[in-house]
């Protein structure tokens, strides 16, 4: 097993599919994040978002979401569009809401990446998530080298001066 070769294959294919940044980290329990999250939840900082209390262990350990997971692939995808609303009387909507739903666009690309990995590397038990599972996206992106978490709680990329927003 040549992990460097596999890493490069995955990163090159992800870039070909349009992902800007790719990082890979070891699948393990997020002990530090779990401790912070427990305090954050206990203090009621999640407000009315009660769903954040659900599936705590799955949120902290990806191996409970995907049996046998060994690695986490974190990806960034720029969904910005230069398109502007033409009807000045229409209700204003966010730019990210133009075009196809980003959940569908990214999920399709994730399926293509998983298919590629299975065809080029071998059978894997991978799943792609786009706001659809209890995943600590920022923490995994940080661990995979995509940036750091700023005081504003967003992941900041060191080279592009961009901020990744996760929901």
Cβ atoms of 55 and 43 within 8 Å: the answer is no
Q: What is the dihedral of CA 33, 8, 129, 81, to 10 degrees?
A: 110
* Residue count of the chain: 167
Q: Give the pair of three-digit tokens for residue 75.
A: 């990806």
Three-class SS state of 86: coil
Beta-carbon contacts of 41 under 8 Å, excluding residues fewer than 6 positions away, are 52, 53
pLDDT tens, per residue, the chain with 167 residues: 688 999 999 999 999 999 999 999 999 999 999 999 999 999 999 999 999 999 999 999 999 999 989 999 999 998 877 888 888 898 888 877 777 888 999 999 999 999 999 999 988 888 999 988 999 999 999 999 999 998 988 888 877 655 555 54
State pTM to two decimals.
0.87
Known catalytic residue at 131: yes
User: Would you state the structure tokens that stand for residue 46, as one six-digit string?
Assistant: 């999640």
- The pair phi, psi for residue 155, each rounded to 5°, is -80, 130
């Amino acid at each position: 097993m040549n992990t460097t070769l596999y890493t490069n294959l995955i990163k090159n294919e992800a870039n070909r599919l349009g992902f800007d940044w790719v990082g890979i980290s070891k699948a393990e329990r997020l002990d530090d994040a779990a401790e912070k999250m427990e305090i954050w939840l206990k203090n009621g900082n999640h407000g009315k978002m009660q769903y954040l209390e659900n599936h705590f262990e799955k949120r902290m350990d990806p191996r409970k979401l995907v049996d046998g997971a060994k690695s986490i692939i974190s990806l960034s995808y720029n969904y910005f569009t230069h398109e502007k609303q033409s009807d000045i009387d229409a209700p204003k909507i966010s730019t990210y809401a133009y075009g196809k739903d980003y959940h569908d666009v990214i999920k399709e690309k994730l399926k293509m990446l998983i298919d590629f990995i299975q065809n080029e590397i071998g059978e894997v038990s991978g799943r792609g998530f786009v706001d659809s599972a209890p995943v600590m996206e920022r923490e995994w992106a940080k661990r995979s080298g995509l940036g750091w978490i700023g005081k504003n709680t967003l992941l900041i990329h060191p080279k592009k001066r961009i901020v990744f927003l996760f929901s």
